Structure 1
Amino acid sequence: MKTKPQKRHKALQPLSREHHHGLLLSWKIRSGFNKNIDPKRIKIYADWFFETHLIPHFEMEEAHIFSILDENNELIKRALAEHRRLKRLFSETDAEPKTLSKIEEELEQHIRFEERVLFPEIQKAATEEQLVQIEKIHQSEPFEDNLEDEFWK
């Protein structure tokens, strides 16, 4: 018998929506490769997405979400290590297909980890006051995409 997925608290829902857009980035990178798109074009979009969406998302999680669990918690250590690894991958200046593939794979794995493992633990540990505070700090904003070069279409 399958267990029913835990309903995400409304304070964490905006972060889950941002995760959805991160998964779309991974899909767009894969689509670009499948269409033999010049890796430079993919890198331009990936860099824009990183600067515009991922950096603020990582900062929000690190400052306000991860602190709900103890800093020595293995899940938090893993999430922080994955953030560092993704930042290093995105900071590569060359548009190497190998690096873009690693970004695509590692970003997707990281998001799945946060959604399936880390966020449920945080939600269980968080007090109602902490969740209310997160809700005040982080509101859902409409996603604005960079449609200058829709290489994935």
Structure 2
Amino acid sequence: MSKQPLKRHKALIPLSHDHHHGLLLCWKIRMGFSKKIELNRIKRYVDWFYENHIKPHFELEEQHIFPILGNHDELVKKAIAQHKSLIKLFTDNEDVEESLKAIEKELSLHIRFEERFLFSEIQRVATEKQLASLYKSHKEKEFIENTSDEFWL
């Protein structure tokens, strides 16, 4: 029996697209390690991605999506704890190699958790009014890639 792909409400699709780009970041980090790319090159890209994509995405989720379930919900608590852990990893400049490895692993797990569990629950319980408000708060923007150093190619 094959698993059916999850059908997302249009209000959550832009966030799922953000998640896709996050998974591509994980792939780029893996490619950087497999090609033995200088760590500072990978870190520069990861820092750019964090500032331009991760931070705004986390803020949007915490301000507009998580309140649908409430801060006392176990899924929301887990997602917020993962956000905090990831922020620490993204901003760690002490052990760059270990931080990058942890980002690759934890970000992937976090995205899969949100897609499979948190977003599914939000979609299940949210009212049409809440989803319409969410849709208005996050119009999908074209993803702009940083092509100054495509170390993963």
TM-score by length of 1: 0.97
CA–CA distance in structure 2, aligned partners of residues 33 and 5 of structure 1:
31
Matched, 1:120 2:120: yes
Equivalent residues of 1:26, 1:105 under 8 A apart: yes
> What is the one-letter code of the residue matched to 1:39?
L
From the superposition, tell whether residues 145 and 94 of structure 1 become closer, same or farther in structure 2 (CA, over 3 Å): farther
> What is the one-letter code of the residue matched to 1:128?
E
Q: Deviations over 1:5-43 (max 9, x none)?
A: 331000000000000000000000000000000011000
Tell me what 2:105 maps to: 105
Greater Cα shift, 2-11 or 32-41: 2-11
Hey, which bits of structure 1, 4+ residues long, moved more than 4 A? Answer: none
Tell me what 1:61 maps to: 61
Equivalent residues of 1:43, 1:95 under 8 A apart: no
Tell me what 1:138 maps to: 138
Q: Deviations over 1:86-131 (max 9, x none)?
A: 0000111246211100011000000000001110000001000000
> What is the one-letter code of the residue matched to 1:77?
K
CA–CA distance in structure 2, aligned partners of residues 40 and 79 of structure 1:
29
Q: How does 1:35-114 map to 2 (within 5 A)?
A: 35-94=35-94, 96-114=96-114
Measured after TM superposition, the shift of residue 3 of structure 1 is: 4.6
Tell me what 2:148 maps to: 148
> What is the one-letter code of the residue matched to 2:131?
L
Over the aligned positions, Cα root-mean-square deviation in angstroms equals: 1.0
Equivalent residues of 1:39, 1:95 under 8 A apart: no
CA–CA distance in structure 2, aligned partners of residues 44 and 20 of structure 1:
20
Q: Secondary structure at the match of 2:78?
A: helix
How many aligned residue pairs are there?
153
In structure 1, the gaps of 5 or more residues are: none
CA–CA distance in structure 1, aligned partners of residues 134 and 120 of structure 2:
15
Equivalent residues of 1:40, 1:95 under 8 A apart: no
Equivalent residues of 1:58, 1:83 under 8 A apart: yes
Q: Deviations over 1:28-82 (max 9, x none)?
A: 0000000000011000000000000000000000000000002111110000000
CA–CA distance in structure 2, aligned partners of residues 41 and 57 of structure 1:
23
Tell me what 2:19 maps to: 19
CA–CA distance in structure 1, aligned partners of residues 70 and 5 of structure 2:
24
In structure 2, the gaps of 5 or more residues are: none
